[in-house]
Amino acid sequence: MARGKLDRAAGAACGRVTVWDIIIDFSPGLSAQRMHDPLQNDLPAVLALSPVDGRYRAATEPLRELLSEAGLIRERIRVEAAWFEYLASAVPQLPGARITAAVRERARRLREAPADSCAPAVKAIEARINHDVKAVEYYVRGELAAAGADPANLELVHFG
């Protein structure tokens, strides 16, 4: 290992040095742009976080849709929407249980097929509030509010 590279890593107090900076130093052919671009799927298996997304990537690729963070976000949205629908129909005495047809339809669409854009939108909310589940709640509330839900309706999202 080159002495200058160690000095740079050890001197992190002078400036921010990330593990990616060090990996790039020792990985000829990898650009900083490629290392920091989350959409790049052609990173060498040796840089994967585990063998599942490294050497076994081809075998596990079909699972990515379900087991990725985007998959988790979509499933959380489905659960929140289904719970909202259930509370609105099964417990009519709850304040906010009376919802319009447009709000009911929007909840149904969220439950059946959340949009592809939902994961980036939830991640943007999460970046502001630093809470993954609350970010999903805020996203669902925003979608229902856009469909005309009133504040009492929105209290049923993530209720209980």
Give the pair of three-digit tokens for residue 75: 């499933």
Show the domains of the chain with their CATH numbers: 3-63 (no CATH), 68-154 (1.10.275.10)
Give the pair of three-digit tokens for residue 152: 């009492």
pLDDT tens series, the chain, 160 aa: 444 444 444 444 445 555 445 444 544 555 544 444 444 556 677 888 888 888 898 899 999 888 899 999 999 999 999 999 999 999 888 888 899 999 999 999 999 999 999 999 999 999 999 999 999 999 999 999 999 999 999 999 999 7
In this prediction, residue 12 carries a pLDDT of 47
Angle between helices 19-26 and 3-10 (to 10 degrees): 170
Give the count of alpha carbons within 13 A of 56, CB side only: 9
In this prediction, residue 4 carries a pLDDT of 46
The pTM (predicted TM-score) of the whole model is: 0.69
Give the count of alpha carbons within 13 A of 120, CB side only: 5
**95 burial class (0-12, 13-18, 19+ CB within 10 angstroms)?**
exposed
